[in-house]
Structure 1
Amino acid sequence: MAKDSVVKGDRPGVPLRGWIVPVFVVSLLAALMGTMYLGYTSDPDKNLHDFPVALVNSDDGDVLDGRTVNIGDQISDALTSKIPADKIDLRLIGWNEARRQLQDGQIYGAIVIPSDFSKRLSILAAASVVPGDVERPVISVHTNPRAGTYASQIVQRVTDRAMKQVNATVGTQLTEQVKAKLQPAPGAAPTELSGAARLQLAKPIDVVVSPYRPLPEGTGQGLSAFFYTLILLFSGFSCALIIHAMVDNVLGYVPAEYGPWYRHLQPVAISRWRTLIVKWAMAVIAAPIISGIFLGIATLMDMPIDHPLALFLYGTLAISAVSVTGLSILAAFGTAGLLVNMIVFVILGLPSSSGTIPIEATPRYIAYLAHFEPMHQIYLAVRSILFFDAHLQSGLGTGIWMTVFGLALGLVLGAVATHAYDLRGLHRLGVSHKTTPGALVE
Structure 2
Amino acid sequence: MTNPQEVDQTSTPRVHVRVWLAPAVVVSLLMALLATMYLAYVVDPVKHLHGFPIALVDQDSGDVISGKPANVGKQISDALVQQIPSDKIDLRVLGINEAQHQLNTGNVYGAIVIPSDFTKRLGILATASVVPGDVTQPIITVYTNPRTGSFSPQVVQTIAGNALAQANQTVGKQLTETVRDQLHSAGSAPELVGLSRLMLAKPIDVVVAPFHPLPSGTGGGLTAFFYTMMVLLAGFTGTIVINAMVDSSLGFAPTEFGPWYVHYPPTPISRLRTLLLKWGVVTGTAPVVAGIFMAIGYWLGMPIDRPLLLFLYSTFAIIAVGVTALSIVSALGTAGLLVNLILFIVLGLPSSGGTIPIEALPNSVARLADFEPMHQVYLGIRAILYFNADGSAGLSRAIWMTLVGLVIGLLLGGVVTRYYDWKGLHRAPAKSR
What TM-score do the two structures reach when normalised by structure 2?
0.95
Structure 2 counterpart SS, 1:156: helix
In the alignment, the residues of structure 2 paired with residue 18 and residue 200 of structure 1 have an alpha-carbon distance, to the nearest angstrom, of 75
Partner of 1:426: 425
Partner of 1:294: 293
In the alignment, the residues of structure 2 paired with residue 77 and residue 5 of structure 1 have an alpha-carbon distance, to the nearest angstrom, of 88
Structure 2 counterpart SS, 1:265: coil
Q: Which runs of 5+ in 2 are unaligned?
A: none
CA deviation after TM superposition for structure 1 residue 225, in Å: 0.7
Partner of 2:200: 201
User: Residues 38 and 45 (structure 1 numbering): CA distance in 2 closer, same or farther, change over 3 Å?
Assistant: same
In the alignment, the residues of structure 2 paired with residue 4 and residue 223 of structure 1 have an alpha-carbon distance, to the nearest angstrom, of 61
Partner of 1:50: 51
In the alignment, the residues of structure 1 paired with residue 31 and residue 164 of structure 2 have an alpha-carbon distance, to the nearest angstrom, of 43
Partner of 1:228: 227
1:413 and 2:397 matched: no
CA deviation after TM superposition for structure 1 residue 63, in Å: 2.5
Asked whether the equivalents of residues 184 and 191 of structure 1 are also in contact (C-alpha less than 8 Å), the reply is: no
In the alignment, the residues of structure 1 paired with residue 426 and residue 192 of structure 2 have an alpha-carbon distance, to the nearest angstrom, of 94
CA deviation after TM superposition for structure 1 residue 194, in Å: 2.6
Partner of 1:285: 284
Asked whether the equivalents of residues 269 and 429 of structure 1 are also in contact (C-alpha less than 8 Å), the reply is: no
CA deviation after TM superposition for structure 1 residue 3, in Å: 12
Asked whether the equivalents of residues 66 and 182 of structure 2 are also in contact (C-alpha less than 8 Å), the reply is: no
Superposed CA deviations along residues 355-385 of structure 1, whole A, max 9, x for unmatched, are 1111111111111001111111111100100
Q: 1:4-403 to 2 correspondence within 5 Å?
A: 15-183=16-184, 190-403=189-402
CA deviation after TM superposition for structure 1 residue 258, in Å: 1.8
Q: How many residues align?
A: 430
Q: Which runs of 5+ in 1 are unaligned?
A: 434-442
CA deviation after TM superposition for structure 1 residue 191, in Å: 3.9
CA deviation after TM superposition for structure 1 residue 2, in Å: 12
Superposed CA deviations along residues 284-333 of structure 1, whole A, max 9, x for unmatched, are 00000110111111111111000000000001001101111110010000
Q: What one-letter code is carried by the residue in structure 2 that aligns with 1:91?
A: R
CA deviation after TM superposition for structure 1 residue 416, in Å: 1.3
CA deviation after TM superposition for structure 1 residue 149, in Å: 2.0
User: Residues 429 and 191 (structure 1 numbering): CA distance in 2 closer, same or farther, change over 3 Å?
Assistant: closer
In the alignment, the residues of structure 2 paired with residue 109 and residue 337 of structure 1 have an alpha-carbon distance, to the nearest angstrom, of 41
User: Residues 376 and 28 (structure 1 numbering): CA distance in 2 closer, same or farther, change over 3 Å?
Assistant: same
Structure 1 counterpart SS, 2:151: helix
User: Residues 184 and 61 (structure 1 numbering): CA distance in 2 closer, same or farther, change over 3 Å?
Assistant: closer
User: Residues 4 and 288 (structure 1 numbering): CA distance in 2 closer, same or farther, change over 3 Å?
Assistant: farther
In the alignment, the residues of structure 1 paired with residue 118 and residue 129 of structure 2 have an alpha-carbon distance, to the nearest angstrom, of 17
Structure 2 counterpart SS, 1:141: strand
CA deviation after TM superposition for structure 1 residue 184, in Å: 5.3
CA deviation after TM superposition for structure 1 residue 419, in Å: 1.1
In the alignment, the residues of structure 1 paired with residue 54 and residue 18 of structure 2 have an alpha-carbon distance, to the nearest angstrom, of 54
What TM-score do the two structures reach when normalised by structure 1?
0.93
In the alignment, the residues of structure 2 paired with residue 109 and residue 56 of structure 1 have an alpha-carbon distance, to the nearest angstrom, of 11
Asked whether the equivalents of residues 46 and 155 of structure 2 are also in contact (C-alpha less than 8 Å), the reply is: yes
Superposed CA deviations along residues 156-189 of structure 1, whole A, max 9, x for unmatched, are 111111111110011011111111222257xx66
Superposed CA deviations along residues 111-162 of structure 1, whole A, max 9, x for unmatched, are 0001111111111111111111111111011111111121011111111111
Structure 2 counterpart SS, 1:429: coil
Q: What one-letter code is carried by the residue in structure 1 that aligns with 2:384?
A: I
Asked whether the equivalents of residues 49 and 360 of structure 1 are also in contact (C-alpha less than 8 Å), the reply is: yes
CA deviation after TM superposition for structure 1 residue 428, in Å: 0.8
CA deviation after TM superposition for structure 1 residue 66, in Å: 4.5
Q: What one-letter code is carried by the residue in structure 1 that aligns with 2:114?
A: I
Superposed CA deviations along residues 217-252 of structure 1, whole A, max 9, x for unmatched, are 111111111111111110111111111001111111
CA deviation after TM superposition for structure 1 residue 67, in Å: 3.5
Q: What one-letter code is carried by the residue in structure 2 that aligns with 1:129?
A: V
Asked whether the equivalents of residues 137 and 204 of structure 1 are also in contact (C-alpha less than 8 Å), the reply is: yes
Q: What one-letter code is carried by the residue in structure 2 that aligns with 1:195?
A: G
Structure 2 counterpart SS, 1:46: helix
CA deviation after TM superposition for structure 1 residue 260, in Å: 2.8
Root mean square deviation of aligned Cα: 2.1
In the alignment, the residues of structure 1 paired with residue 402 and residue 15 of structure 2 have an alpha-carbon distance, to the nearest angstrom, of 43
In the alignment, the residues of structure 2 paired with residue 191 and residue 106 of structure 1 have an alpha-carbon distance, to the nearest angstrom, of 50
User: Residues 189 and 153 (structure 1 numbering): CA distance in 2 closer, same or farther, change over 3 Å?
Assistant: closer
